Amino acid sequence: MSWPVKTIAERTGDLLPGSPWTAALYVLLTILAVTAFMTVTGLVLIYAERKIAAHFQCRLGPMRVGWHGVLQTIADALKLLLKEDIVPRDADALLHILAPVLSFAGMLLVMIALPMSPSLQVADMNIGVLYVTAVSGLGVLGILLGGWSSNNKWSLLGAMRAGAQIISYEVSATLALLVVVLFSGTLQLSGIVQSQEAGWWIWRAHGCGIVAFAIFLIAGTAEINRTPFDLAEGESELTAGFHTEYSGLRFSFFFLSEFLNMFVLAAMTSTLFLGGWMPLHIGHFTVFNGVMDIIPPGLWFTFKTTGMIFLIMWFRWTFPRLRVDQLMRLEWKILLPIGFVNLFVSAACVVTGCYFFAR
């Protein structure tokens, strides 16, 4: 079974020769749909996080607004929209306003490259992996600017911590990502998904996949500033870190991009290591593969991403926060050497063709 990939960008291109207005309308609808998707995903994630966190801690979580509190996040979002939007007097007003937008933009730009199903992907670049690595760096710029422009020592400390942390862990994340690029032989995200038709890279790559998966998950959790790596906003140390001085709509931008970053990380992990929208296949077992193909690819993507999100939430509500020096030691003395060795071993595997179902 082949999987023809058609992106939204390509469909717009097809429409363009006929009537530019139809194409423009199509683009507009796409933008609306993406916005709606992000809002809904963000709200659902926040609700899920609160509920799951509560049950991890023997609590119930929101119960009052709507059935089991399902409308709680909507109520909170409305409240945030109505809050006064404060720019502190001594803050750098332009940068203060720009920072949440940059942070959001970094997340948004990664989002458009995610392959959610063969027919649902906004743009499919032939250098997708490189693009994702590059634009996700915009997020740290937003955090740094937010902390810097607030003119507040806690914000500045949080931002500097976040900067050091994200830049350090980006190295390990990229090394783990390169393992998959080596095995699949392409930088295109849909190409990486297609290359897992015989099986997911996490188990096909003779252990290298599992190591790379673990490194990517740890480094990714650090990059999105979630516990156990939430030093940038550790409330017991820095009140709220880089977004201490933010309120109302701008705070909600930071908040939303934090949660959608979790979605992006989960989606990237499942795309790279768990086959993205590709159903669970095992080599040449045609019958088994056929049965798995009954479930549509979009659902596979949803399952895998949800599973990863759940895992990340589980981490957050179990593990204690690291100290700054422990954080740096974990990256530079443990993850980075393991990542390099893993990269060399997988290069050897690829050269000798020593992995499951090599072509």
Using CB under 8 A as the binding rule, whether residue 59 contacts other proteins is answered as: yes
Q: DSSP label at 321? A: P
Of 120, 67, 173, 83, residue with least CA distance to 296: 120
Using CB under 8 A as the binding rule, whether residue 314 contacts other proteins is answered as: yes
The angle subtended at Cα 170 by Cα 164 and Cα 174, nearest 5°, is: 165
Answer for which of 60, 74, 134, 341 binds other proteins (CB under 8 A) is 60
Span from 56-64, 77-85, 90-98, 351-359 in contact with other proteins (CB under 8 A)? 56-64
What gap in Å lies between CA 276 and CA 290, rounded to an integer?
Answer: 17
Beta bridge partners of 117: 120
Q: Read off the tokens for 184.
A: 């699949």
Is the CB of residue 150 less than 8 Å from the CB of residue 213? no
Answer for which of 2, 57, 236, 352 binds other proteins (CB under 8 A) is 57
Q: Which is nearer to other proteins, 53 or 138 (CB)?
A: 53
Q: Read off the tokens for 19.
A: 């009537």
Using CB under 8 A as the binding rule, whether residue 341 contacts other proteins is answered as: no
- Using CA atoms, how far residue 36 sits from 25, 129, 146, 338, in Å, is 16, 25, 26, 40
Using CB under 8 A as the binding rule, whether residue 334 contacts other proteins is answered as: yes
CB of 167 to other proteins, least distance (A): 24
Residues between 254 and 293 with contacts to other proteins, criterion CB under 8 A = none
Count the Cβ atoms, other than its own, within 10 Å of residue 238: 22
Using CB under 8 A as the binding rule, whether residue 26 contacts other proteins is answered as: no
CB of 231 to other proteins, least distance (A): 18
Using CB under 8 A as the binding rule, whether residue 52 contacts other proteins is answered as: yes
Answer for which of 32, 33, 63, 134 binds other proteins (CB under 8 A) is 63
CA dihedral 246, 248, 254, 258 (to 10 degrees): 130
Helix (H, G, I), strand (E, B) or coil at 81: helix
CB of 165 to other proteins, least distance (A): 19
Using CB under 8 A as the binding rule, whether residue 318 contacts other proteins is answered as: yes
Q: Which is nearer to other proteins, 54 or 171 (CB)?
A: 54
Is the CB of residue 346 less than 8 Å from the CB of residue 182? yes
Using CB under 8 A as the binding rule, whether residue 319 contacts other proteins is answered as: yes
Number of residues that bind other proteins (CB under 8 A): 15
Using CB under 8 A as the binding rule, whether residue 56 contacts other proteins is answered as: yes
What gap in Å lies between CA 200 and CA 46, rounded to an integer?
Answer: 29
What gap in Å lies between CA 310 and CA 237, rounded to an integer?
Answer: 27
Phi-psi domain of 282 (left: phi exceeds 0; alpha: psi -120 through 50; beta: other): beta
Using CB under 8 A as the binding rule, whether residue 58 contacts other proteins is answered as: yes
Span from 55-63, 93-101, 250-258, 275-283 in contact with other proteins (CB under 8 A)? 55-63
Q: Which is nearer to other proteins, 38 or 309 (CB)?
A: 309
Using CB under 8 A as the binding rule, whether residue 67 contacts other proteins is answered as: no
Q: Which is nearer to other proteins, 71 or 86 (CB)?
A: 71
List contacts with other proteins (CB under 8 A): 52, 54-60, 63, 314-315, 317-319, 334
